[in-house]
Amino acid sequence: MKAEIITIGDELLRGEIVDSNKARIAERLLLLDLECRHQVSVLDDPADMRDAFRRAADRSDFVLVSGGLGPTRDDLTTEVLAETFGRKTVLDEKSLAVIEAFFARVGREMSDVNRKQAFFPTDADVLPNPIGTAPGFSIREGRAVFFAMPGVPRELDLMMDEQVLPRIERLLVFSEATVGATVGGSRAAPVGAPVERAERQVVRAVLLRTFGMGESTLEAELLDLAREGDVDLGFRTSFPDNFLRPVARAKTAEEADARIAQVTKAIRTRLGAIVYGEGDETMESVVGRLLAERGLSVATAESCTGGLIAERMTDVPGSSAYFLGGIVAYSNAAKVALLGVSEALLESEGAVSEPVVRAMAEGARARFGSDFGVATSGISGPDGGTKEKPVGLVWIALATAKGTHAESFVFQVDRSRHRSLSAQVALDWIRRSLLGVELVGPSLLRRGGGGSAPGGS
């Protein structure tokens, strides 16, 4: 079975926004063991759109279209999709009533242009949109079933989950007999008719999140784990992390589940603490879960990261159970007044130094009465470095009842990435301390080879 994704909008091709909808749709398709074979982005141009629709109809069984369902003149998906396959657009009175009710509910008067959103190609199956003004729809054209959805991510997500995936699941019926006479080549076949296929494979995939090892080094470490044709291993960088996605295929769900479990276990065994999470887990959510499970708390003392560690920790729901507070001590005076760092120490060692960052971490822990105190002090640039203390230098410290660990790194990246990477190391140290493993940083984890960490894209 072949699935294809088409995203529509000038802003996508101009780079004004990141096209995250392809990833959102493709990830959900995997829930139904469907792998996306083609992904296309086109301008709000009728000729380009027609070409994309015709190509998709010829080569794919499911075509998921995102964008172009709005009320403005550049929202052309409905009209062009209908025209491409020789259909008219007709008003759906029920959808119009729902759109009118939406505007009434939010206390706004509906413009005439919004009526456009209640028109659909003939024989279309309307897909309700309870949180927006743009309903979606589906049509069958020959072998292909098209699903047109809004481009707004939260509307797309809800429509995929509540409307599109259940319909695709119903279409994915196993049949020993050929059903081509029912659906092949005839637009009149209902959208809900079964889709012909020879032999469907079950697909299982897992996203493993890693921190501290470059992409090429990861590949070298795992080279022998996915050599068979039924297991693939993909790599993706999302600074400062690298993601691994093992994909397993089999004839039955049991076989696919067993294969993905086996390769995932092997990867975790091989990489150890470098794998910090799975799926949607972030470093801060993993740290928060470990702290909550153990009934422990943390406080922060930040200079160069400017409160980024505290922000990330408090992004996690329920963080009040373990995050006691943080101090952004950017100036030396703030370090003295708020964290109890010695003026003499600052004068003799400088703010970016081991003794000062140790004192910051211990000061945060003492003032908040927390189990952990974490601190950062560095030179994020682009200016401010010296020969002895270059731009990119950062000292990080973690204070516990057992003592304080501090270490320096030189991250030769831009200011934003320097702060992001420093915060990630600090959070990773809390995680590693809770797991009882060695506190290390990304530069120490590179066993050879290039890659994306710590300075790549």
- Higher-confidence residue of 103 and 91: namely 91
Domains defined for the chain, CATH in brackets: 3-183 (3.40.980.10), 202-278 (3.30.70.2860), 295-445 (3.90.950.20)
Among the ranges given (29-33, 86-90, 140-144, 321-325), the one the predictor scored with the smallest mean pLDDT: 29-33
Cα(410)–Cα(86) distance, integer angstroms: 62
Cα(278)–Cα(286) distance, integer angstroms: 10
Q: What is the pLDDT of residue 441?
A: 82
Cβ-contact 316, 290 below 8 angstroms:
no
Q: What is the pLDDT of residue 443?
A: 56
Q: How far is CA 67 from CA 32, 43, 55, 76, 210, in A?
A: 23, 11, 18, 9, 33
Among the ranges given (25-29, 298-302, 361-365), the one the predictor scored with the smallest mean pLDDT: 25-29
Which residue type occupies 310? A
Give percent above pLDDT 70 in the chain: 90
| pLDDT per position as a tens digit, 398-413 | 999 999 999 999 998 9
- Higher-confidence residue of 452 and 164: namely 164
- 62 bridge partner residues: 3, 145
Which residue type occupies 159? M
Pull the structure tokens for residue 98.
Answer: 């729902």
Mean pLDDT score of the chain: 88
Residue 8 has pLDDT above 50, yes or no: yes
Name the DSSP letter for residue 63: E
Residues 6+ apart with CB under 8 A from 179: 193, 194, 195, 196
Residues 6+ apart with CB under 8 A from 53: 6, 63, 80, 81, 84, 85, 146
Residue 198 has pLDDT above 60, yes or no: no
Cβ-contact 76, 48 below 8 angstroms:
no
Residues 6+ apart with CB under 8 A from 331: none
Please tell me whether residue 428 adopts helix, strand or coil conformation: helix
- Of 41, 34, 39, 98, the closest CA to residue 67 belongs to 41
Residue 182 has pLDDT above 60, yes or no: no
Q: What is the pLDDT of residue 228?
A: 57
- Model confidence, pTM: 0.72
| pLDDT per position as a tens digit, 113-164 | 899 999 999 999 999 999 988 999 999 999 999 999 999 999 999 999 999 9
The label of the residue with tokens 């994309």 reads: 52
Which residue type occupies 150? P
- Higher-confidence residue of 203 and 383: namely 383
Residue 446 has pLDDT above 60, yes or no: no
| pLDDT per position as a tens digit, 225-274 | 866 557 888 888 888 999 998 888 888 889 989 999 999 999 999 999 99
Q: What are phi and psi of 112, to 5 degrees?
A: -60, -30
Give percent above pLDDT 90 in the chain: 70
Q: How far is CA 229 from CA 197, 207, 219, in A?
A: 21, 19, 17
Pull the structure tokens for residue 303.
Answer: 């200079």
Cα(136)–Cα(133) distance, integer angstroms: 10
| pLDDT per position as a tens digit, 331-389 | 999 999 999 999 999 999 999 999 999 999 999 999 999 999 999 999 999 999 999 99
Task: Indicate the pLDDT class of residue 213, thresholds 50, 70 and 90.
Answer: confident
Cα(191)–Cα(141) distance, integer angstroms: 9
Task: Indicate the pLDDT class of residue 452, thresholds 50, 70 and 90.
Answer: very low
Please list, residue by residue across 404-427, b when 16 or more beta carbons sit within 10 angstroms of its beta carbon and e when fewer do. Answer: bbbbbbbbebeeebbbbbbbbbbb
